[in-house]
């Protein structure tokens, strides 16, 4: 495999790794009964005129498994943080004592767990499509190189096997992540 082919393979693998990282991030934001600070990552609060993630204006910690404790560094931020949480699609009403905000995550119902499992599968399918798209783009680049006589037929066959092995590895990783998340959701 020549140097140009290796560079393209490395770029495709980097793209596939990004897909896995994105999938892990999506799974972290799925609220499945347990308190997870990642559910607040997509919620921004108005901090002196600019939207700022909650974890940049407060300490967020898990207490007692299903409770999140948010302690703002600036006590005047309690009300804006509460408003931002209420306005989000989190679906939890925050309670505050003047110094901290507490979020209590209820145990999800069976129907809600099934719905979350469907969402997990959907994210998994989207990740697989992204991995396959990276494979297709790489193979298209190799075909163009072959057409321009930059690589031989043997190089093409060798590359095809390597690319398929790489793709299979990432698809298996996506399946593993989906399976783990489904098990976590259904075993609450």
**79-92 pLDDT per residue, tens:** 999 988 888 877 78
Residues 41 and 22 in one domain: no
- For residue 16, CA distances in Å to 2, 12, 72, 161, 172 come to 21, 6, 37, 17, 12
Identify the domain containing residue 60 by its residue range.
37-104
Q: What is the pLDDT of residue 38?
A: 79
* Residue 152, number of CB atoms within 10 A of its CB: 11
**13-71 pLDDT per residue, tens:** 999 999 999 999 888 777 666 677 878 888 889 888 888 888 889 998 888 778 889 99
3-state SS assignment for residue 149: coil
Which of 104, 132, 161 terminates a domain? The answer is 104
Q: What is the CATH number of the domain that holds 82?
A: 3.30.1360.40
Residues 78 and 9 in one domain: no
Q: Is 172 or 2 the better-scoring residue by pLDDT?
A: 172
Q: What is the pLDDT of residue 1?
A: 66
Residues 113 and 25 in one domain: yes
Residues 165 and 140 in one domain: yes
Based on the structure, what is the number of domains in the chain?
2
Q: What is the CATH number of the domain that holds 25?
A: 1.10.132.20
Asked if 186 and 115 touch (Cβ cutoff 8 Å), the reply is no
Q: What is the pLDDT of residue 161?
A: 92
Which range has highest mean pLDDT (63-67, 77-81, 126-130, 156-160)? Answer: 126-130
Q: Is 107 or 125 the better-scoring residue by pLDDT?
A: 125
Which of 104, 124, 159 terminates a domain? The answer is 104
Asked if 145 and 153 touch (Cβ cutoff 8 Å), the reply is no
DSSP letters, 95-112, are: EE-SS-EEEEPPPPPHHH
Q: What is the pLDDT of residue 32?
A: 65
Q: What is the pLDDT of residue 170?
A: 95
Q: What is the pLDDT of residue 22?
A: 93
Asked if 95 and 130 touch (Cβ cutoff 8 Å), the reply is no
3-state SS assignment for residue 65: coil
Which of 58, 87, 104 terminates a domain? The answer is 104
Q: How many residues does the chain have?
A: 188
Q: What is the pLDDT of residue 138?
A: 92
**Pairwise CA distance, residues 131 & 124, whole Å:** 11
- State what percent of residues in the chain have pLDDT above 70: 97
């Amino acid at each position: 495999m020549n140097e140009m082919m290796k560079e393209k393979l490395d770029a495709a693998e980097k793209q596939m790794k990004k897909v896995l990282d994105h999938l892990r991030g999506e799974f972290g934001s799925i609220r499945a009964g347990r308190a997870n600070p990642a559910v607040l990552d997509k919620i921004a609060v108005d901090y002196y005129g600019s939207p700022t993630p909650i974890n940049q204006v407060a300490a967020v910690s898990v207490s007692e498994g299903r409770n999140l404790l948010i302690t703002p560094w600036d006590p005047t931020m309690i009300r804006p943080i509460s408003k931002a949480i209420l306005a989000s699609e989190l679906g939890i009403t925050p309670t505050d004592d003047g110094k901290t905000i507490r979020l209590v995550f209820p145990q999800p119902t069976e129907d809600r767990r099934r719905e979350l499992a469907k969402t997990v599968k959907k994210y998994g399918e989207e990740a697989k499509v992204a991995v396959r798209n990276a494979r297709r783009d790489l193979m298209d680049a190799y075909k163009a190189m072959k057409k321009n006589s930059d690589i031989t037929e043997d190089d093409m066959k060798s590359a095809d096997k390597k690319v398929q092995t790489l793709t299979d590895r990432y698809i298996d990783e996506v399946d593993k992540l989906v399976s783990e998340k489904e098990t976590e959701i259904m075993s609450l």
